[in-house]
Chains A and B, each alone.
Chain A
Amino acid sequence: MERARRVLEMKGITKQYFGNTVLNNVSIDLYPGEIHALVGENGAGKSTLMNILFGMPVIHSTGGFSGEVLIDGEKVELMSPAEAMQAGIGMVHQEFMLLPGFTITENIKLNREPTTKNALSRLFRSKSLDYLDVPTMRKDARAALDRLDLAIDEWAPVAGLPVGYMQFIEIAREIDKKEVRILVFDEPTAVLTETEADRLLESLRRLAADGIAILFITHRLDEVMAVANRITVLRDGETVARLNRDEAVVERIAELMVGRKVEKVELPPRAKEPSDEDIALTIDNLVVDMPGEMVRGLSLSVRRGEILGIGGLAGHGKLGIANGIMGLYPASGRVSKNGENIPLNSPEEALSRGLAFVSEDRRGVGLLLNEPIDRNIGVTAMQVQHKFLKSWPHFLPALRLEDRAELRAYAEDMIRKLDIRCLGPNQPVRSLSGGNQQKVCIAKALALEPEILFVSEPTRGIDVGAKRLVLDLLVRLNRDHNVTIIMTSSELGELRKVCDRVAIVYRGRLAGILPPDASDAEFGLMMAGRVGKEAV
């Protein structure tokens, strides 16, 4: 690592999205040939920082950012990915941008193919009619692949290649760009096997030795310790630490990632505290096929009357649990409530046995955006429990007419109780604010009068004031109406604020259950897979 000029400096970066500060005075710098790890929880701001670096349109269409980006000491304005590429920045995304019907070579050279002129292209003076110079393409592709020590036929079609190879082809494409000097990797080992991940880290070392500066986003602390020269930790949009490799210890990094002052809030007392003597829901070896949030065998017991939190890093499966039990994604295993088995893969079964769900995908799954508030609140209860219907014809509930008056009255009651800010029960939910939309979703679940309520990401995308209201609402529900709540969230802070226990999910399995006042380090390590049942 040279102590010479920094190849990249990002100084004092501040970014707001619609009034929410996502990055606050963040700085980071990079030397040529350095491997710099950027670590943080989800929502810490890592992706936003990289989007700014890469000139992504989403940044500029939401008000830009303040601060400076310097390359080789000179200020640059990167307004598009193309400009970022010209400035020598390459980015290897998490989703592969590969065309399966093309060969590896064609993908590496996509839209940058070397060409040769021919009679027609000369006649029409158009580069479009040039022949593709396939031999040169193959030579360049071969060179890039060799640099990564990848012994695969450069003319093989991409379709059918193992996922691990695809990651390498993405990298090959970036390093084929002669001007590249900075490479950004966004969670590169997320979809790789152990051996593939090792191989990737090895190629990172090789690339760094060639002088390329590497910025490497990850939350896998072992990898950080294996290859990083320096580590920057982001938390809640701020730089909380910058460490050299030799000063760093995994526990300390975990602590920095997670730690924040948890406001000690006095929760209302209960008549009887939940305990293992009274189990409401037993989950046994649950496996859920939810792309991106796979559950690979999770077992857990939920105490009656408790608020159980489920936390863990994104992609590790915490969101799959509720989705699987409520039948939205294919699931297997055994789930029983009060000793009675609940059939999986059927939303109707779950709903008719006293379970309800507020989905993390508020706008996609949770709401009918073009329908009014009362419809949204009532339709599930109408379908499953035959509420809000006139009582005739008795024998054929399918043909019973909607009881508009009853529905409206109930909706108005909910609007009052949950303080939903709106123009009336007729207002289409699309025009409500995030917080109020969330309240409608909660009202929808409440209309079913459930015993157990699953809530996923209850305060995502909601402003600060509404967050507190939603959390208060959940606590009241639990204390006043004895609803057992299972709350899944990527905000560890809110889980520690209101839950009785917090379960942490790592790689699709239960890593452990901690009390809310356990130390930051304990939480951080468990989320990073260092402690618990599945020690890495």
Chain B
Amino acid sequence: MIQSPEQKKVESGRDVSLDMRHIVRTNGVPILFLALSITMAAVAGLSPAFLMNEVITRFARNSLLVLSLLIPVTAGMGLNFSIVIGAMSAQAAAIAVTLWGIKGVSGFLTACLLATPLAAITGCLAGLVLNRAKGREMITSMILGFFANGIYQLIFLFLVGSVIPFNSKSMLLPQGVGVRNTVDLINIAQSLDKIWRPVISGVRIPVVTVLVSLGMCVVITFLLRTKIGQDLRAVGQDMNIAEVMGIKVDKTRIIAMILSTVIAAWGQLVFLQNIGTLNTYNSHEQVGMFSIAALLVGGASTRRATIFQALIGVILFHTLFVVSPLAGQKLFGVPQIGEYFRVFVAYGIIAVALAIHAWQDRQMRKEAIREAVLTE
């Protein structure tokens, strides 16, 4: 929200922005996870250069996906678990581009061009479904993601090669029907990263990729200053009031979903071009969950998320992601624990953040009732 700095002072009669307690209260979650990351990094004992490299690479390839979550939160639709639909559109495009042998940056751009309308249409459908589940958007988007995954598998495992003609035998499974489990994205691998990758004090930075993410930050900021951005924010605060005031609530929510899904599609393409290989049936599975966990770690809630929180969250979450297996191993002394520890952290973050925000919501509602009553 565009808030004047004077306002923050007015709120409590002193310069709140510098008050330590206030900072901790409003930014508790990222501070907690910063402490956690530092502790675990220390325990894990990884070399700083290695860590930096890992974190920068992951930041570059994951930020766009996390940014795609911002608009639905602003529109009051909660955390969009169904960005996986955008990811799947991207994968379809990536497969097509690999099939048709379009190389390099043009391959990447073609994939974007293909993925966008696909993501827009599926995003629109997702919006229609969520409009029928008002008040339950998050769980619905989660189940919708699973459902879409089923459709995706139906198409790519059973329809490709049989009903849908597919020219490349090498990309299909041995029985001739269904796309292979792994598709080597030779054409677009690193296409964006390769453009300019300077090495600064031992750390390799894929500048263009990072610029793409920052560019999206600019786009989102711009969007929120326009009429449609204002409508989205209004709908996010109170659907009923927005409707009474003449804003087309259903249409606005669908637009939010379309934007989110399209950005997620682009995000998944950025992700895939860095990894270089497509796990046809797995690459997208955790997309929703990891992006949401990252956003929550950055301090966002189910009703309020800023660009800053998204970016910080990606860095913190992925740092944790890198260090936790080794840290867990060293802590508990059992090798396999590492992997499970990382999974636990991811799920746990979401569970804790959801619980805290739901509890805070309840407190707020109770406060609102008490206030309304006191003033009568």
Residues of chain A touching chain B, judged by Cβ–Cβ distance below 8 Å, are 81-82, 97-103, 106, 110-111, 113, 115, 120-121, 127-132, 153, 155-157, 160, 162-163, 191, 289, 291-292, 294
Within the complex, what minimum Cβ distance (angstroms) separates A345 from chain B?
16
Per-residue 0/1 for B218-241: is the Cβ within 8 Å of any A Cβ (1 yes, 0 no)? 000010011111110110011001
Q: Contact between B244 and A99 (Cβ–Cβ < 8 Å)?
A: no
Q: Contact between B375 and A102 (Cβ–Cβ < 8 Å)?
A: no
Distance between Cα atoms of A156 and B1 in the complex (Å): 12
Chain B residues positioned under 8 Å from A160 (CB to CB): 11
Chain B residues positioned under 8 Å from A99 (CB to CB): 234, 237-238, 241-242
A82 partner, pick from B222, B246, B372, beta carbons under 8 A = B246
Q: Contact between B245 and A111 (Cβ–Cβ < 8 Å)?
A: yes
Q: Contact between A191 and B376 (Cβ–Cβ < 8 Å)?
A: yes
Q: Cβ of B18 < 8 Å from any Cβ of A?
A: no
Distance between Cα atoms of A113 and B246 in the complex (Å): 12
Instruction: Report the stretch among B2-10, B19-27, B32-40, B179-187 that lies at the interface.
Output: B2-10
Q: Cβ of B200 < 8 Å from any Cβ of A?
A: no
Residues of chain B touching chain A, judged by Cβ–Cβ distance below 8 Å, are 1-4, 6-7, 10-11, 222, 225-231, 233-234, 237-238, 241-242, 244-247, 369, 372-373, 375-376
Q: Contact between B237 and A100 (Cβ–Cβ < 8 Å)?
A: yes
Known: A82-B246, A99-B238. 9 other contacts (CB 8 A): A99-B234, A100-B237, A102-B237, A111-B231, A111-B234, A113-B230, A129-B226, A160-B11, A291-B369
Chain B residues positioned under 8 Å from A101 (CB to CB): 1, 233, 237
Distance between Cα atoms of A203 and B53 in the complex (Å): 65
Q: Contact between B228 and A128 (Cβ–Cβ < 8 Å)?
A: yes
Distance between Cα atoms of A289 and B376 in the complex (Å): 11
A191 partner, pick from B4, B6, B238, B375, beta carbons under 8 A = B375
Q: A157-B1, A289-B373, A294-B376 are in contact. Are A98 and B241 (CB under 8 A)?
A: yes
In the complex, residue of chain A having the shortest beta-carbon distance to the beta carbon of B222: A120
Chain B residues positioned under 8 Å from A98 (CB to CB): 241
Q: List 18 A-B contacts (CB under 8 A).
A: A82-B246, A97-B241, A99-B234, A99-B242, A103-B1, A110-B234, A110-B242, A120-B222, A128-B226, A129-B226, A129-B228, A130-B227, A131-B226, A132-B225, A132-B226, A132-B227, A191-B376, A291-B373
In the complex, residue of chain B having the shortest beta-carbon distance to the beta carbon of A101: B237
Grouping DSSP codes into helix (H, G, I), strand (E, B) and loop, the A interface class, with mixed when no group exceeds half, is loop
Q: Contact between A157 and B7 (Cβ–Cβ < 8 Å)?
A: yes
Distance between Cα atoms of A162 and B374 in the complex (Å): 11
Chain B residues positioned under 8 Å from A121 (CB to CB): 226
Q: Contact between B234 and A115 (Cβ–Cβ < 8 Å)?
A: no
Distance between Cα atoms of A6 and B49 in the complex (Å): 82
Distance between Cα atoms of A44 and B3 in the complex (Å): 45
Distance between Cα atoms of A388 and B273 in the complex (Å): 71
Chain A residues positioned under 8 Å from B11 (CB to CB): 160
Distance between Cα atoms of A229 and B221 in the complex (Å): 52
In the complex, residue of chain A having the shortest beta-carbon distance to the beta carbon of B1: A101
In the complex, residue of chain A having the shortest beta-carbon distance to the beta carbon of B244: A97
Q: Contact between B245 and A102 (Cβ–Cβ < 8 Å)?
A: no
Distance between Cα atoms of A361 and B101 in the complex (Å): 69
Q: Contact between A131 and B225 (Cβ–Cβ < 8 Å)?
A: yes
Q: A81-B244, A103-B2, A291-B372 are in contact. Are A129 and B7 (CB under 8 A)?
A: no
Distance between Cα atoms of A241 and B29 in the complex (Å): 64
Chain B residues positioned under 8 Å from A102 (CB to CB): 1, 233-234, 237
Q: A99-B238, A160-B11 are in contact. Are A129 and B246 (CB under 8 A)?
A: no
Within the complex, what minimum Cβ distance (angstroms) separates B249 from chain A?
11
Within the complex, what minimum Cβ distance (angstroms) separates A59 from chain B?
16
Q: Contact between A163 and B375 (Cβ–Cβ < 8 Å)?
A: yes
Which of A82, A111, A120, A289 has its CB near the most chain B CB atoms (within 10 A)?
A: A111
Within the complex, what minimum Cβ distance (angstroms) separates B247 from chain A?
5
Distance between Cα atoms of A505 and B372 in the complex (Å): 21
Within the complex, what minimum Cβ distance (angstroms) separates B71 from chain A?
14
In the complex, residue of chain B having the shortest beta-carbon distance to the beta carbon of A109: B230
Q: Contact between A128 and B237 (Cβ–Cβ < 8 Å)?
A: no
Within the complex, what minimum Cβ distance (angstroms) separates B186 from chain A?
36
Chain A residues positioned under 8 Å from B2 (CB to CB): 103
Q: Contact between B245 and A110 (Cβ–Cβ < 8 Å)?
A: yes
Distance between Cα atoms of A294 and B376 in the complex (Å): 8
Chain B residues positioned under 8 Å from A291 (CB to CB): 369, 372-373, 376
In the complex, residue of chain B having the shortest beta-carbon distance to the beta carbon of A80: B246
B227 partner, pick from A103, A129, A163, beta carbons under 8 A = A129
In the complex, residue of chain B having the shortest beta-carbon distance to the beta carbon of A173: B245
Distance between Cα atoms of A155 and B361 in the complex (Å): 25
Distance between Cα atoms of A131 and B244 in the complex (Å): 23
Distance between Cα atoms of A259 and B242 in the complex (Å): 42
Chain B residues positioned under 8 Å from A289 (CB to CB): 373
Distance between Cα atoms of A97 and B42 in the complex (Å): 52
Distance between Cα atoms of A103 and B10 in the complex (Å): 14
In the complex, residue of chain B having the shortest beta-carbon distance to the beta carbon of A115: B227
Chain A residues positioned under 8 Å from B229 (CB to CB): 132
In the complex, residue of chain A having the shortest beta-carbon distance to the beta carbon of B303: A101
Chain A residues positioned under 8 Å from B222 (CB to CB): 120
